[in-house]
Amino acid sequence: MRATSRDRVNLSDLHSIPGYKAINRAAGKAQQKYGMISDGDRICVGVSGGKDSLTLFCLLNERLRRIPINYRIFACYIDPGFDNGFANDLERFFAENGWELKIEHSNCGVVAHSEENRENPCFLCSRLRRKRLFEVCAELGCNKLALGHHKDDIIESMFISMFYSGEMSLMKPFLPMFGGKVTIIRPLAFADESDIIRFSKHSGFPSFKNPCPSAENSKRSEIKKMLATLYKDNRKVRGNIFRALGNIKKDYLL
């Protein structure tokens, strides 16, 4: 499936693109709080082709040139194996901007949507793709895996866990795995999705049609619609929910 693209802009001058300054400030806040990136880090960036992961890659690439931390980044796309995929077009976009992209072809999406797994295909697909990304980290000698989840994703993940798993958990911004051999980092954890949307609209990013059959009917999309209604009625709700995720009063839980 060919991507549709907007007018190309200069991605080497991100600060001139609307939304980027707010995203950059949020990333700086995350770095200050968690120390996400250190000298000598080799970071695998999980790229999906969507606005979030492309924004993340651009952010890490741009910050590399001006912050006093020396690290290397490697972009990797796990092709889930659906027909009409966009791996070639995504690779072309990276090449046009002078970037390298490692493409790993898989059947993660196909397996997740098989007859044996009808209940929660998104969970299994995500799990299989994450497993392959960890393997790629090992192959590339990367000690960090950067994912493009933002503030709204983190809020939504908490509700998904509550509604469908009966537990309270979420996407942690900084999560060491395998005894610290690889650490998942989410540099956009404090970034608002609205700023990412604004940035992506003016960035010239290609727009890919997601071939996943669950793209429009996932549990996350249901939660997003519910929260949008709450946010519309009260502008403080979104910020309050996010602050509450780090303000747990254990004495008042079961």
The pLDDT value recorded for residue 110 is 84
Pairing of strands 42-46, 144-146: parallel
pLDDT of residue 130: 94
pLDDT value at residue 56: 98
Above 90 in pLDDT, residue 52?
Answer: yes
Write the CATH number of the domain with boundaries 12-252: 3.40.50.620
Answering whether pTM is above 0.75, one says: yes
Residues 78-87 have a mean pLDDT of 90
Mean pLDDT rounded to a whole number for the chain: 90
Q: How many C-alpha atoms does 6 have within 13 Å on its Cβ side? A: 11
Q: pLDDT-derived band of residue 113, with 50, 70 and 90 as boundaries?
A: confident
The residues spanned by each domain of the chain are 12-252
With 90 as the cut, is the pLDDT of residue 5 above it? no
Please report which confidence band the pLDDT of residue 1 belongs to, taking 50, 70 and 90 as the band edges.
Answer: very low
**pLDDT digit string (tens) for 231-240?**
998 989 999 9
- Say what the pLDDT of residue 77 is: 96
Q: Pick 216 or 62 by higher pLDDT.
A: 62
Q: What is the pLDDT of residue 93?
A: 94
Each residue's pLDDT tens digit, 175-230: 999 999 999 999 999 999 999 999 999 998 988 888 888 777 778 888 999 999 99
